[in-house]
Amino acid sequence: MGSSVKLLALTDVAAVYDHIIVALRGVTLEVGQGSVVALLGANGAGKSTTLKGIAGLLEADGGAVTAGRIVFDGEDITRSPARTLVRRGVVQVLEGRHCFPHLSVEENLLTGALSRGGARPHLRRELDRIYGYFPRLTKLRRQASGFISGGEQQMLAIGRALLAKPRLVLLDEPSMGLAPQIVEEIFRIVKTLNREEGVSFLLAEQNADMALRHADQAYVLENGRVALEGQAAELATRADVRAFYLGLGRHEPPARTDLPGPALAAPPRS
């Protein structure tokens, strides 16, 4: 369970793509120090946009944060470039893993340490630490990453992020395209890293049932707004939330008080 100390806070954040497509509409959320927070919602709800806005990566995708504030560890990072944020400890694992296919597993891992440098003996210890969390990667260290499985690539992407010594990992759709047993293994590793190393996670996920089982807090995005928020364990037991957002049965949408007017059309990007 994370502490009550705020590590990350978004306040009324709005974002657009191509100057006209509204993707986020007043998103407010918090991530406590040492916590795992799930960001749930359907495709197009704004999950990936939220993570990229925090990580300073929206501009590369034709987007921009147009309103609100993003504060990390007490400092406003709303306009900070990605390279600065990585050095400060904010690291994103993008949807789709994005490993370098022609580099070996170990070479991919080492790219995660480029932002902070470090002596070679120190890096060797760091690599051994990562292999300890991801034993599947140990025997694959010399294998080109383009020839390992999707689950192994996801583990590699998380391990690469950890070599940057993050305080906050933004994890985008870690379960996408993976077998259920591999998804379970990845979420167990995330929880272990959180518990043993104090790394905070904000993870965007469509597999809401899995995310709620491993998170401390959860926010549900709908049409670029926060529709629901609360303790993950509590949301997971609510019949209306499970029916409407997890697809388990039929139920009317949960009561919402956050939207001042009629819902707007969902943006085409997530």
- 170 DSSP 8-state letter: E
Q: How far apart are CA 221 and CA 229, in angstroms?
A: 9
| Model pLDDT, residue 263 | 38
Boundary residue ending a domain (120, 140, 165): 165
CATH number at residue 48: 3.40.50.300
Is the same domain home to 233 and 245? yes
Residues 118 and 223 in one domain: no
Do 187 and 250 belong together in one domain?
A: yes
Per residue of the chain (270 residues), give pLDDT as tens: 555 689 999 999 999 999 999 999 999 999 999 999 999 988 889 999 999 999 999 999 999 999 999 999 999 999 999 999 999 999 999 887 788 999 999 999 998 887 665 556 678 888 999 999 999 999 999 999 999 999 999 999 999 999 988 999 999 999 888 888 899 999 999 999 999 999 999 999 988 888 999 999 999 999 999 999 999 999 988 877 777 666 655 555 555 544 444 333 444 455
Q: Which domain holds residue 107?
A: 98-165
72 and 198 share a domain?
yes
pLDDT value of residue 250: 52
Q: Are 66 and 239 in contact (CB under 8 A)?
A: no
Query: Which pLDDT score is estimated for 79?
Result: 92
Distance of CA 103 to the CA centre of its chain: 24
Q: Give the predicted TM-score (pTM) of the model.
A: 0.86
Residue position matching structure tokens 């170990």: 106
Identify whether residues 78 and 187 lie together within a single domain.
yes
Same domain membership, residue 170 and residue 82: yes
Residue 146, Cβ neighbours under 10 Å: how many? 11
pLDDT at res. 209: 87
Q: Are residues 127 and 215 in the same domain?
A: no
- Do 156 and 195 lie in one domain? The reply is no
Domain boundary residue among 165, 184, 209?
A: 165
> Do both 37 and 51 map to the same domain?
yes
Q: Number of folded domains in the chain?
A: 2
The reply to whether 177 and 197 lie within a common domain is yes
Tokens of 234: 């509590």
Residues 70 and 124 in one domain: no
- Last residue within a domain, chosen from 138, 165, 192: 165
Q: Residue 68: CB partners within 8 Å, gap ≥ 6?
A: 10, 11, 12, 13, 14, 26, 27, 28, 78
Indicate if 46 and 13 belong to the same structural domain.
yes
